[in-house]
Each structure stands twice: as structure tokens, then as C-alpha cells.
Amino acid sequence: MKKIFLISIVGFSLLTSCRKEEIDKIDGPSLEDLNGAFSVINGLQSSKDSVDFAAGETVYFTAEIAKTTPWKLRVVGMTSGAEKIMTGTSKIIDASQTLWNGSTTNLPMFRSEICKVELTFPGLPDTLTAAVKVINPKVNAGFLISDFETGFNPGWTSFIQSGADMDFQIKSDVTAPEGNAYYNMAGTVDWDWLVGLINFKATAYSGATVLPLTSNPNNLYFNVMVYGEVGLTNSLVLFQFQEDEDANGTFDSATEDLYSHQITIDWVGWKLVSIKYSDIPCLVNGSPATANGNGQHNSDKINQINMLHLANPVSGFAKSKLDYIIFTENGPLNP
Amino acid sequence: MRFTLYITLLLSSFSAFAQEGKKVQFVGGARSLLSHSDFTSKTDVEDTVTSRKMTGGYALIDLGFKINPNATTEILGMIRIKNDFGGFWGSGVNFDVRQLYVKGVAGNVLRYQIGNIDYKLSPYTFYNHNADMLVQSTASLKIKEDILNYETFYKNNTWRQQGAAADFALKFPKMIQEMKFNGFITRMNPTNMTNILERFYGGGNITIVQSKYFTIGGNHVSVFDLKQTAASNDAYRNSVSTGTFASSMEFDKIKFGIDGETGFSNSFSSQDNEGKLSDYFVNAKLNVEAKKLGIKFNLGYMDNGADFRSAGAQSKRVDYNQVNNYYDRYTNAQIVRPLSMYDLYNDPTLYTSSINTGIMTYNPSINNALPYGTATFNRKGIYSTLSYEDKKKIVAVSATYYKLSEIRGQGTLNLKSFDYLKGNLVFDVSNLLKWKLKQIINVGVAYQNTQRKSDLSFETISLKSTTMNVGVELEIVKDLSILGNAFMFSSVGNELLPVRNDKGEIINFNPYLVDGQELNISAGLKFNFSKDVYLACLYEQNKNNFNTLNPYNIKQLMLFYVMKF
């Protein structure tokens, strides 16, 4: 009994004496970092003076401040007004947080232009600045239906109602979200929902009867940039995707699938709208319905895309603009 | 080696399986509560939004069918029928399954239980610490705590889980007396088939009893995700392995002992090797008992590593992320009324029965020294308990003092120190005066002081809290008692509360400033129809000024009828 008891005491003493000191470790961020005085140790710097995003180049920005602080880095295109915004909370700002591949946070997209870079700290007056020149903007991978830069493709067809103030045409000005051109759709039609439409036929591209797209509808994304006018919320844009399932070169609405993506334009300014092709429903008068064909999204059998501008006939003048209609794979467009 | 297999009866009531030869028995309980409350708050502008008076209540019955199809099997199914007052004839009536299990003995060797199991192992592996009620309850406070414990299945520090448990024992003729084996497995959460994997919690222990003077044991528990049960490959694991021991020497007048537990933990996600946490702990104490004097003394040392994680022992009873169900908002601005001690004693829905793998939120004013009980990580120091109980059972007094500190600083190299003193005095006047009518006075106190000294003002911490309860139970005629309680909770000072991400890592600190007091005075009558059936009428007033701009006052009249059968 006594022996076991003594062994227990010795064992206990050994156990309690083996803790490794943790004098140099702390849990969490340093309070001194969080609460100390703010000051700039190294100012904002760009890793390059100029960058060619089209060639796959990237650029990053660095700075160092005295305490861990929330920050906001804003790159603004001096010509386009495009914005790239990056945020974080740290005392060292480096490539791991600020690597830029030319993408934009708020449309329009960047162009070949000088960009101003601003580093600000919410709640603090300090603003650090730098500049970088975009030699060539980012090129997006995907199948481009149109960016309207080269005019109206003769392979497309269109129908425009004979309403009042009709203005269906490609326009060029600095407000385009990509390049210089976009398609304007405006007018008043007080007897029909349809204001006007364009048919993007597959034959207008490579001559084939279907668009050259992947057969995996879960990996294919349809993207379009849409502009909402100030004070107008009556515009609807309907994209219809006709599938030539029997590969006979024509679409039969009674026996083949027609999928439709309806966009209600209730915002102001340019906005990127993206949707996975397999998520696009079949609609009849705006309500989900059963497709008339095989009911499967055959993205490699799209032979025509119809872009319809709709508005309630009693709602009066309707207007919207569209640009950069593109299919991408592996994810939505990151412009 | 020859040994004999036999069954240890560790769980209660097993021997009563067929004691009366009944195949089916009805067990359960019934309770009814009727309450009327009056809420007032002090504001610059009169509160015209909050409903001041509220009347409500419920009646419920837990009806269990205990079926013994044979002498070694017991099946229990218990349903709850609850009716909120004012909701008769279907409306407001709830039916729930409250308990469901099968237990029995297989082959006269292995005892098992499947379904609901109430389980615990050791304080560092699987244990339901009560870290938020620091003083012993008596009188009216005890009625509330008993109801809380009944509702949440908290009893003897067990956790109510769903799964299976088994135990058996081996008895030896020499060298060692016996070896006990326990094992359990429970399901913590089901998969959602996408990003949440099926999660289980299992483990067991082996206890070797060498003699009545020496016992040693090994415990192991593990939270683990079952891979391939969802699209995610990020499987979490928290494993804790510990050893326990107890050794003693006994003489005529005095008894010495030493006991404790030590072990280590590993926590990681399969796709986050950098976030792996491993650490160990030691907790042991020396015990001295002067048998004839009724005095017990112990002196212990604990060292719980900063990265020691044990989901089954560090899960809290109270979920502080919950909001009150009762006067949840007040004032014209309808500000949120934070959880108070009043709510912790009155609302069982604030408690959880699940094991939580994250680090749960706690209230530093209530318990900053050991917010997760004895298994709290990042604590080291000494503790000591002195207790005395006279032979006539007139006075029982005990006091425990912890002198602890952090092991690793939070946001700084400076460490917090914790002083924690808790004591309890039970004075049995009836035993002193040799009255048959029970007269009990109980005083409980808990005091905590957290300090962190630094030259930098933003690192300095000073937080002091006191919890005190004085309760009396005076039996005036047979089975009729007057109950009285004065409960006080106060806290003043500051803390910096860690803000953690999903992985439990500290990403920031939120300043916590407190200067308030809560006072609850209650009195009432309790009539015992029998040991398990009573009727109690209580009136209480609760004043809370933790919100200095909007202190509030709750007056409440309650009528309880409680029955167990």
C-alpha cells in the first residue's frame, strides 16, 4: 500500500514538471498591432509600371503599416472608369492579397489605359496612391456571341416593331462596358409585349448549324452585360436557346427543346448577368413549363439564340442596352 | 490465468428489471406551471411598446412504457404531451417522443443500451460540467434547477446522446481485483449529402481495480467524420486519450490519497494540416481526511494546455448564442434583453444537449476562471478544498479556492491570472434542535477575480464577479414548507473576449465592459404530497441593472405542480 502510494506521488511530481514554457507564443493577433498607433512604414508600390494582361501578365501591390488594420485597395481606369477593389485586414499588404489579373469588380471592363491605384483605411484619413498602365486589357476565354464592336453580323436577323421612338441599333461611346460599342434597344409599343428582337443564328459564325459549345451543360455559363436606365424598370430581356436535337439543321418548336432566360431589368447601370446553361428553364409566357423535346439541356445543339426586348404595353417607353454576350466554361465570366 | 466473468451493475435500476414480475410498467412524470409576470424597465421615455404583464403556463405529462419482454431486456418508450394553457382541444398541444431505448444483458456477460443513453467518462474526456451555476441551489432556486435538469437530462454530469453503449467486467482471483470495460458510440450529426459528413462520437475506458487502495484506468474518446458520406473530403477529428489513477493509504484516524487524470488531445481536419492542434493536460490532487473530525482537505495542481481540445468535456450546457424566449426585447427601441441568471434558472430552452466541436461562447462575468469546467484549456495553477461535516449533520461547510493563470497569452505575452473562491454552508437547524420538521439554511458564494497587468492600457484586464445565494427551507407543519431565496450576482470590470473563426482560431478581440448587479428575491410555500409529488407557489422579484441605461425589474408569481411516477 505504502509503496504504491509513494510511486503515485513520484509519478505525479514528474507529470506536473514537464510543461514546456510558452513564453514566446500568443493566441490570436497581437493587441499591440490592433490597438497601437497607425503609421505607414512602406508606401504603396506597384510590382510593375505597365502590364499586358492579354499576354497573361499580372501585377501586384505592396505596402506595410505599423498595425493590423482593415484596408481597401481600389484600382480605377482613368479612361474607362472601371474599378477593381480588393480588401483585407493586415499590417503587410503583399502579392498574396493584391495579385491583379486585369479583372474588374465593377463594370465597365478595363481598357488599354492608365490606372490610378488607391489604398485607403476605413475610418482613417490616410490615402496611399500609385499608378499602373494597362498595355492590353484581359482577354476572356469563351465563345463570344457578340460584343458589337464589328457591327451587325449579316448572318443575324432582327425584327423591330413600328412603335414610337424606336432606337434599335449598335452605338459607340465611352459608356460601353467592353470595348466601345453596345446594342441599344428602346421604344414604345403599346399593343404588344415585344418591342424588338435579334436572332443570333449559329450559321452566322462558322457556318455550322449549331454553336461550337461543350456538350456538358453543367460546365457551360451564359453571360451578358445589361444596362438598366435611370427611372425605367419595365424592360425585360428574354434570351431563348433553340436546340436542334435531331441535327436536321432546323428547330421544330413542337418536338425540340427551347430554353429561356428572362431578365427583369430593375437596376441602374451596367450589370453582368451569368447563368449556368443547365439552370436555364423552359418557359411559356414567363412560367416554367415542360420542354417539348428530350427535356435535356443539349448545349452542343444550340442552333439559334433569340434576344427579345419585352415590355408591358401599358408601361410606356422601355429601354435597355446589352453588351458582351459570351459563353464561358468552368465558371461564370470574370470580366 | 483463471478469472471469472461477471456483470457490473454500474447503471441504475437494472436490477429492478423484473423485480415485480411486471411485463409492462408506466413510468414518467407530470408537471404544470402557471405564471403571471410584471415587467418594468427604467427608461427616459416610458416604455409603451413592451407588454408589461404576461400570464401563461402549461401542463405536460411524460408517459413512458417500460416493457420487459424477458428478465434481461428492458424497452422504454416515453412520449410527451404538452398543452400550453389557453390551447385546449388540439390547438397548442404538442406530442413529442422524449425517450426511447432498449437495454439488456447479452449472454449474462455484456450489458448494453441502444437508443437514448446518458453517458459520461472522465472529467477530461466526456463529462457534462456545470460551469454556469456556481452556487448550490436550495429552496425555490432548487425547484427551478430540478426542472432544468429534468428537461435537459442533466444528471450526475452525464450527456444525453443517441447511440449505443456496452459494459462488462472481469474479476480476478489475485493481483488485481477486477477490470471494468465501457464503450459507447453516438451519432453527432447526419450528413447533408453535400458538404457535411456523417459525424460520430465514440470511445470507452478500462478501469483496473487493484485493491481498494489503488485504481488505474485508461480513457479514449474521439469525434470523427465518416469519409465518403458526403461530397466533402474535409473530415474532422478530435481524439482525447487519458489515464486516471487513485491511490490511498488509510490509518485509524487519518486517510491519505492521491488521484488525478492526465492525457493528451489531437484535433485536426484532414485538409488542414497547418491547423492541427495537439496538447496535453495534468490534473492531480493530494487528499487528506481526518476521519473522526469530519475534515477533508485536498491540494491539487492542474495544467491544461492551451491547445488541449476535448469536445465531450468542453461543450457548455448553456448556448449563449440563443436569445431569450421571455421578454426577449424591451424599451420603445425594443433592445435585446441579454441572457441573465434569471433566464438561466427559468428557461430550459437556453440549454443544449449536443456535443459541440467548436469553442462555445461563454459569459466572462459568470465564470471566467473555468468557463468550460475543469477541462478548460489554457489554464494552470493550484487549487484546494477544505470541507467539514459534523457527525450530527448540523453543519456542512466546504470551500474551494483556485489560483490559476493562462499558459499562453491572448493577444499579448502577458498572462491573465484567475482567483476563484467558492464556498457552501448548510446549516440544519432541525438536526441541531432535534426537530422532526426539516429546517435548512444554505449559503453559497462564488467569487472570481481576473487580472492582467500591462504597461499598455489596452492590454489591462480587471474583472470581478460575485455570485451569492442564501436559501431557507422551513417546514412549518408536516410536508408544508416555507421557501425563501436571496440570489445576488454582480460583476464589474473589463475583459477582451476573443472572436474566433470557424476553425476556432482567434482573429480579433471584442472589448467587454460590465458594471451591474442582478438581485433575485423569492419566497413561497411548498407542499409535499409524497416524496415525488409536490405543489409549490412562489413569488419572486428580479432586479437587473447590467444595462445601466435601461435596468429592468421582473415580478413573477408561479404555481408549480410536479409529479414523478
Condensed to tens digits (0 to 9), the pLDDT of residues B146-155 reads 999 999 999 9
**Helical ranges in B260-340 per DSSP H:** 311-314
For residues B64 and B68, give the distance between their C-alpha atoms in angstroms, rounded to a whole number: 13
Tens digit of pLDDT for each residue in B70-79? 989 999 999 9
For residues B31 and B59, give the distance between their C-alpha atoms in angstroms, rounded to a whole number: 6
State residue B20's pLDDT score. Answer: 54
For residues B366 and B464, give the distance between their C-alpha atoms in angstroms, rounded to a whole number: 10
Question: Nearest to residue B526, comparing CAs of B133, B139, B204, B36?
Answer: B139
Residue B361 corresponds to which amino acid? T
Tell if the CB–CB gap between A19 and B303 is shorter than 8 Å.
yes
**Please, which residues have CB within 8 angstroms of residue B367's CB and are 6 or more apart in sequence?**
B131, B132, B134, B448
Whether B500 and B507 have beta carbons less than 8 Å apart is answered as yes
A10 touches chain B (CB under 8 A): no
For residues B234 and B199, give the distance between their C-alpha atoms in angstroms, rounded to a whole number: 12
The DSSP code for A22 is -
Question: Nearest to residue A107, comparing CAs of A227, A271, A229, A221?
Answer: A271
Tell if the CB–CB gap between A2 and B249 is shorter than 8 Å.
yes
**Mean pLDDT over residues B38-48, rounded?**
86
pLDDT band at A175 (very low <50, low <70, confident <90, very high): confident
Highest mean pLDDT among B15-29, B161-175, B459-473: B459-473
Give the start-end residues of each E strand in B190-253: 198-211, 214-226, 236-250
For residues B140 and B525, give the distance between their C-alpha atoms in angstroms, rounded to a whole number: 9
Burial class (CB in 10 A: 0-12, 13-18, 19+), A231: exposed
Residue B393 corresponds to which amino acid? K
H/E stretch holding A91: strand A83-93
Tell if the CB–CB gap between A29 and B498 is shorter than 8 Å.
no
Whether B244 and B261 have beta carbons less than 8 Å apart is answered as yes
pLDDT band at A16 (very low <50, low <70, confident <90, very high): low
Tell if the CB–CB gap between B456 and A30 is shorter than 8 Å.
no
- B6 pLDDT higher than 50: no
A19 touches chain B (CB under 8 A): yes
pLDDT above 70 covers what percent of chain A? 93
**Please, which residues have CB within 8 angstroms of residue A35's CB and are 6 or more apart in sequence?**
A67, B456, B458
Give the start-end residues of each E strand in B319-460: 329-330, 335-336, 379-389, 395-405, 409-410, 417-428, 439-452
Torsion of CA B147, B152, B155, B157, to 10 degrees: -130
Torsion of CA B342, B346, B348, B349, to 10 degrees: -70
B378 touches chain A (CB under 8 A): yes
Nearest chain B CA: its distance from A7 CA (Å): 9
- A11 pLDDT higher than 80: no
- Among A144-148, B8-12, B229-233, B283-287, where is mean pLDDT lowest? B8-12
Residue B405 corresponds to which amino acid? S
pLDDT band at A4 (very low <50, low <70, confident <90, very high): low
Tell if the CB–CB gap between A16 and B410 is shorter than 8 Å.
no
Tens digit of pLDDT for each residue in B197-236? 999 999 999 999 998 899 999 999 999 999 888 888 889 9
**Mean pLDDT over residues B348-369, rounded?**
94
For residues B472 and B525, give the distance between their C-alpha atoms in angstroms, rounded to a whole number: 11
Tell if the CB–CB gap between A28 and B303 is shorter than 8 Å.
no
A20 touches chain B (CB under 8 A): no
Which cell numbers hold the place of B158?
Answer: 452525464
Is B374 in a helix, a strand, or coil?
A: helix
Contacts 24+ apart (CB under 8 A), A265-268: A265/A226, A265/A227, A265/A228, A265/A232, A265/A233, A265/A235, A265/A236, A265/A237, A265/A320, A266/A228, A266/A233, A267/A228, A268/A228, A268/A229, A268/A230
Nearest chain B CA: its distance from A172 CA (Å): 47
**Please, which residues have CB within 8 angstroms of residue B21's CB and are 6 or more apart in sequence?**
none
Q: Which residues of B touch A1 (CB under 8 A)?
A: 211, 213-214, 249
Q: For residue A23, what is the nearest residue in chain B, using CA coordinates?
A: B413
Residue A132 corresponds to which amino acid? V
Is the N-terminal amide bond of A108 cis, ω within 30° of 0?
yes
A70 touches chain B (CB under 8 A): no
State residue A18's pLDDT score. Answer: 60
- A58 pLDDT higher than 80: yes
**Helical ranges in B183-315 per DSSP H:** 311-314
Torsion of CA A7, A12, A15, A18, to 10 degrees: -100
Tell if the CB–CB gap between B411 and A34 is shorter than 8 Å.
yes
For residues A170 and A184, give the distance between their C-alpha atoms in angstroms, rounded to a whole number: 6
Burial A11-22 (b: 16+ CB within 10 A, else e): bbeebbeeeeeb
- B7 pLDDT higher than 70: no
**Mean pLDDT over residues B300-307, rounded?**
95
Find the CB nearest A5 among B258, B303, B408. Answer: B258
Q: How many CB atoms lie within 10 A of CB B89?
A: 7
Q: Which residues of A touch B286 (CB under 8 A)?
A: 9
- B83 pLDDT higher than 60: yes
What average pLDDT is seen over chain A? 90
**Please, which residues have CB within 8 angstroms of residue A227's CB and are 6 or more apart in sequence?**
A177, A182, A265, A269, A270, A271, A320, A321, A322, A323
- Among A125-139, A170-184, B39-53, where is mean pLDDT lowest? B39-53
Which cell numbers hold the place of B14?
Answer: 437494472
Q: Which residues of B touch A4 (CB under 8 A)?
A: 210, 213-214, 247
For residues B164 and B185, give the distance between their C-alpha atoms in angstroms, rounded to a whole number: 5
Provide the number of CB pairs (under 8 Å) joining chain A to chain B.
Answer: 93
Tell if the CB–CB gap between A24 and B413 is shorter than 8 Å.
yes
Interface of B with A in 385-414 (CB under 8 A): 407-413
CA A228 to chain centre: 16
A16 touches chain B (CB under 8 A): yes
State residue A13's pLDDT score. Answer: 65
* Backbone phi and psi for residue B147, each to the nearest 5 degrees, phi listed first: -65, -45
Sign of CA dihedral A250, A256, A257, A263: positive
Q: Which residues of A touch B378 (CB under 8 A)?
A: 27
The DSSP code for B125 is T
Burial class (CB in 10 A: 0-12, 13-18, 19+), B403: middle
- B502 pLDDT higher than 90: no
Strand partners, B432: none
Question: Nearest to residue B388, comparing CAs of B361, B350, B426, B430?
Answer: B426
Whether B443 and B453 have beta carbons less than 8 Å apart is answered as no
pLDDT band at B192 (very low <50, low <70, confident <90, very high): confident
Is B349 in a helix, a strand, or coil?
A: helix
β A127-136/A50-52 pair status: parallel
Tell if the CB–CB gap between B213 and A4 is shorter than 8 Å.
yes
Tell if the CB–CB gap between A28 and B458 is shorter than 8 Å.
no
Tell if the CB–CB gap between B306 and A27 is shorter than 8 Å.
yes
**Please, which residues have CB within 8 angstroms of residue B124's CB and are 6 or more apart in sequence?**
B219, B240, B242, B261, B263, B281, B283, B310, B313, B374, B375
Q: Which residues of A touch B459 (CB under 8 A)?
A: 31-32
**Please, which residues have CB within 8 angstroms of residue B555's CB and are 6 or more apart in sequence?**
B37, B38, B539, B540, B541, B542
| End-to-end C-alpha distance for chain A, whole angstroms | 79
Tens digit of pLDDT for each residue in A236-285? 999 999 999 998 988 998 999 999 999 999 999 999 999 999 999 998 88
Find the CB nearest B245 among A8, A18, A35. Answer: A8
Is B343 in a helix, a strand, or coil?
A: helix
The DSSP code for A59 is B
Is B429 in a helix, a strand, or coil?
A: helix
**Helical ranges in A36-91 per DSSP H:** none
Tell if the CB–CB gap between B247 and A8 is shorter than 8 Å.
yes
Tell if the CB–CB gap between A22 and B260 is shorter than 8 Å.
no
Whether B50 and B105 have beta carbons less than 8 Å apart is answered as no
Residue B218 corresponds to which amino acid? G
Nearest chain A CA: its distance from B333 CA (Å): 27
Is A233 in a helix, a strand, or coil?
A: coil
**Mean pLDDT over residues A84-98, rounded?**
92
Nearest chain A CA: its distance from B465 CA (Å): 24
Find the CB nearest A15 among B211, B282, B305. Answer: B282
Find the CB nearest A26 among B260, B411, B456. Answer: B411
State residue B9's pLDDT score. Answer: 41
Residue B37 corresponds to which amino acid? S
State residue A272's pLDDT score. Answer: 93
A27 touches chain B (CB under 8 A): yes
**Please, which residues have CB within 8 angstroms of residue B412's CB and are 6 or more apart in sequence?**
A26, A30, A31, A32, B452, B454, B456, B459
Q: Is B415 left (phi over 0), alpha (psi -120 to 50) or beta?
A: beta
Q: Which residues of B touch A25 (CB under 8 A)?
A: 306, 408-409
The DSSP code for A300 is G
Tell if the CB–CB gap between B284 and A16 is shorter than 8 Å.
yes
State residue B1's pLDDT score. Answer: 43
H/E stretch holding B151: helix B139-152
Is A128 in a helix, a strand, or coil?
A: strand
pLDDT band at B18 (very low <50, low <70, confident <90, very high): very low
Tell if the CB–CB gap between A26 and B284 is shorter than 8 Å.
no
**Mean pLDDT over residues B402-408, rounded?**
96
- A319 pLDDT higher than 70: yes
pLDDT band at B14 (very low <50, low <70, confident <90, very high): very low
Find the CB nearest B301 among A9, A16, A31. Answer: A16
For residues A122 and A143, give the distance between their C-alpha atoms in angstroms, rounded to a whole number: 40
State residue B3's pLDDT score. Answer: 44
For residues B22 and B14, give the distance between their C-alpha atoms in angstroms, rounded to a whole number: 14
Tens digit of pLDDT for each residue in B534-555? 999 999 999 999 999 899 999 9
Nearest chain A CA: its distance from B249 CA (Å): 6
Question: Nearest to residue B221, comparing CAs of B243, B242, B202, B244?
Answer: B202
For residues A68 and A31, give the distance between their C-alpha atoms in angstroms, rounded to a whole number: 9
